[in-house]
């Protein structure tokens, strides 16, 4: 393109020179006014030609960029919170594979549950040319400053699974229906204990997730909307007295933290043989902690235990009768929907959403796509997990 521009400029200059020569056909020298007019015309022609060439070059570059975008391509930054939980490894690998299959360059980073590390990783993604950011936050309230940088650089942000709070840089939210996750857990306990018909009372303890994870409140809220009426009427009894979210939250969703808390609850309330009928656990890592504690300290009839994510260790416990159910969220589906969102953004179109009312992050409602969760138990896990190719038989042995 530059060579074309130089060639055009030389042609114009030569034409201008010839025009001056033709004007000198008379023996009388050209007047200064005539020379000035001729020079001005030449300059104007040159400027016009230069502008036309520049516009053509810009148009060609824009067309090439559009062609590249429509055919896939571009860089996507994917920030995951940790490798410590099985599900985030699956989310990250599924997302990376599907984005690469769609033709995108992927910068996938895990932050070891350290907020400062995640902030630094996102800063690097911004500075290294990411065109879209997909972020599963460690703490939904801790990314405001770095996402302001993303907004200034006109980089769209998709909050992945966990809603990023109090930032107007968030463009879309891709997740499972988190309130429904909790609802299904609560309904499972309700139905297994036949709370609508049985006299009770039944004893229950409650474990939810990290207070910095906005999803934990949705899980808790969905389950408690089902179970709280039975607690209020005395049909469900929480002997530890720990019912409210802040009392039952588990920092970092850590198995060890849940196990330690269950140790204390059993020692104080169930060591004398009192029966524990159910343990509401919002996910599999907390369920694993509760199960470990029960195996070490509890001698009564085994309680109902809920979970979420269908981690391998928990599915094995489910098969062995130690965990009753786990919510199955097929991360392949969520990754696929997120790739659709990225692709739409890259092509300048609207991303697919199915919820525009529920998820307000403090700056407004974020357009969201909610995948539907289902529950797995000993009766249907083969169909959901093995027949679908999510796991193999060998994985669960």
Question: pLDDT by residue (tens digit) across 93-122?
Answer: 999 999 999 999 999 999 999 999 999 999
Residue 299: count of CB within 10 angstroms of its CB:
10
**pLDDT at res. 227:** 98
Q: Which of 179, 184, 327, 372 is nearest to 318 (CA)?
A: 327
Q: Are 323 and 287 contacting, i.e. CB atoms less than 8 angstroms apart?
A: yes
| DSSP 3-state of 310 | coil
The neighbouring-strand residues paired with 109 are 79
Q: Are 258 and 285 contacting, i.e. CB atoms less than 8 angstroms apart?
A: yes
pLDDT band with cut points at 50, 70 and 90 for residue 73: confident
Phi, psi of 158 (to 5 degrees): -105, 115
pLDDT band with cut points at 50, 70 and 90 for residue 85: confident
pLDDT tens digits for range 20-65: 333 333 333 333 343 434 444 444 444 444 444 444 443 343 333 3
Inform me whether the pLDDT recorded for 15 exceeds 90: no
pLDDT tens digits for range 205-247: 999 999 989 899 999 999 999 999 999 999 999 999 999 999 9
**Distance between CA 40 and CA 303 in Å, rounded?**
94
Calculate the CA dihedral of residues 229, 233, 234, 239 and round it to 10 degrees: 50
| CA dihedral (284, 286, 287, 288) positive or negative | positive
pLDDT tens digits for range 129-147: 999 999 999 998 999 999 9
């Amino acid at each position: 393109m530059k060579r074309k521009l130089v060639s055009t400029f030389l042609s114009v200059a030569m034409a201008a020179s010839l025009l001056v020569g033709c004007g000198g056909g008379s023996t009388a020298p050209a007047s200064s006014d005539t020379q000035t007019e001729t020079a001005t015309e030449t300059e104007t022609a040159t400027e016009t030609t230069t502008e036309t060439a520049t516009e053509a070059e810009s148009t060609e570059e824009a067309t090439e960029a559009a062609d590249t975008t429509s055919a896939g391509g571009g860089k996507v930054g994917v920030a995951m919170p940790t490798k410590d939980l099985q599900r985030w490894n699956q989310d990250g690998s599924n997302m990376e594979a599907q984005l690469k299959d769609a033709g995108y360059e992927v910068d996938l980073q895990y932050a070891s549950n350290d907020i400062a590390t995640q902030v630094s990783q996102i800063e690097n993604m911004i500075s290294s040319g990411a065109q879209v950011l997909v972020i599963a936050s460690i703490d939904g309230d801790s990314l405001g400053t770095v996402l302001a940088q993303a907004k200034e650089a006109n980089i769209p942000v998709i909050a992945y699974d966990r809603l990023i709070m109090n930032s107007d840089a968030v463009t879309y939210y891709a997740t499972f229906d988190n309130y429904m996750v909790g609802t299904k857990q609560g309904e499972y306990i309700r139905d297994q204990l036949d709370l609508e018909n049985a006299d009770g009372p039944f004893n229950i303890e409650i474990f939810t997730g990290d207070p910095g994870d906005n999803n934990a409140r949705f899980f808790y809220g969905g389950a408690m909307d089902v179970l709280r009426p039975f607690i209020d009427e005395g049909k469900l009894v929480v002997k530890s007295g720990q019912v409210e979210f802040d009392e039952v939250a588990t920092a970092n969703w850590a198995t060890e933290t849940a196990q330690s808390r269950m140790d204390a609850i059993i020692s104080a309330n169930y060591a004398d043989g009192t029966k524990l009928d159910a343990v509401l656990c919002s996910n599999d890592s907390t369920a694993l902690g509760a199960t470990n504690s029960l195996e070490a300290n509890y001698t009564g009839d085994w309680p109902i235990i809920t979970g979420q994510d269908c981690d391998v260790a928990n599915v094995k416990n489910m098969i062995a009768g130690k965990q009753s159910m786990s919510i199955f969220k097929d991360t392949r589906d969520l990754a696929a929907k997120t790739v659709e969102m990225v692709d739409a953004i890259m092509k300048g179109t609207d991303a697919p959403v199915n919820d525009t009312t529920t998820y307000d992050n403090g700056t407004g409602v974020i357009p969201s796509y909610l995948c539907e969760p289902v529950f797995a138990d000993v009766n249907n896990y083969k169909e959901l997990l093995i027949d679908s190719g999510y796991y193999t038989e060998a994985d669960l042995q």
